Amino acid sequence: MVPKLKAFIVENEVSYRSLQFILKKYFPEIEVLGFTEDVDKAISLIGSMEPDIVFLDIELKGGCGFQIIENFWKKCHFVITSYVDKYALKAISYDVTAYLLKPLKLEDLLFAINKAKHKVELSHKYSKRTLPKKKGGGIKILAIPSMDKIELIEKKSIVYLKAEGRYTHIKLTSGETKLASRNLGEFERLLNPNIFFRIHHSFIVNITQVTNINKAAGNYLELKSGESIPVAKRKLNSLNKFLKIK
């Protein structure tokens, strides 16, 4: 049985009341934990309440909705509601569940909520999988779904994963590249964070496959395969801490 889902809303009170009404009417299995329209309060409340789904606008009091997404994109599924479409491309790079334009159309909102529900349920399902484990290593196998099959591969055989919209290219040590019908964010939740590091919105790299960091060329990871992967500027400090460089 899937546990009751939790949602949090980062909107003004009028939008909050409207969303709360729709959720209560169409999705009684989703509990609304509360709301705020302030960025700092949202970060604090989401951190303590740990919702599954977050509905938010981008232009908020005290900052921008992306500040919230930056903090919790690994832990929550986001549905963005906005009066403008200029942030849509940036939102896609964060693997948000949906980007809806106001005034909201009910059918679009219901579709987005169902999509978010499905993603949360998938996360719960995969977190409870009982594939064979090795001591200290967790699940060693990764399922790669495509249109006609689900392929199982060893995680240690992955060199890197590259996002392409709703799909992910997975490069293997054999030289093969697999195309999976699942986005990069979903795979990130299934990989060992001590080995796989998201160096860019579009890339997750197996650190054991890295030979060096090329700073002269603008911060690229050079891989055993001979390929180079860019490191996003905002990820440099996190990467240095991850590698215990500083």
**Domain limits of the chain?**
5-127, 133-242
Query: How confident is residue 10, by pLDDT bands cut at 50, 70 and 90?
Result: very high
Q: What is the pLDDT of residues 101-124, one digit of tens each?
A: 999 999 999 999 999 998 888 777
**Nearest alpha-carbon partner for 8 in 77, 100, 58, 67:** 77
Judge whether 5-127 and 133-242 match in fold. no
pTM of the predicted model as reported, rounded to 2 decimal places: 0.56
Provide CATH code, domain 133-242.
2.40.50.1020
- Tokens 């309060």 correspond to what residue? 41
Q: Topology of domain 5-127, per CATH?
A: Rossmann fold (3.40.50)
Residue 1 has pLDDT above 60, yes or no: no
- Say what the pLDDT of residue 110 is: 96
Q: What is the pLDDT of residues 43-92, one digit of tens each?
A: 999 999 999 999 999 999 999 999 999 888 878 999 999 999 988 888 87
Q: What is the mean predicted confidence (pLDDT) over 118-146?
A: 65
Q: 184-189, long-range: CB within 8 Å, 24+ apart, which pairs? A: 184/95, 185/73, 185/74, 185/94, 185/95, 186/95, 186/119, 186/122, 186/123, 187/142, 187/161, 188/74, 189/74, 189/123, 189/126, 189/127
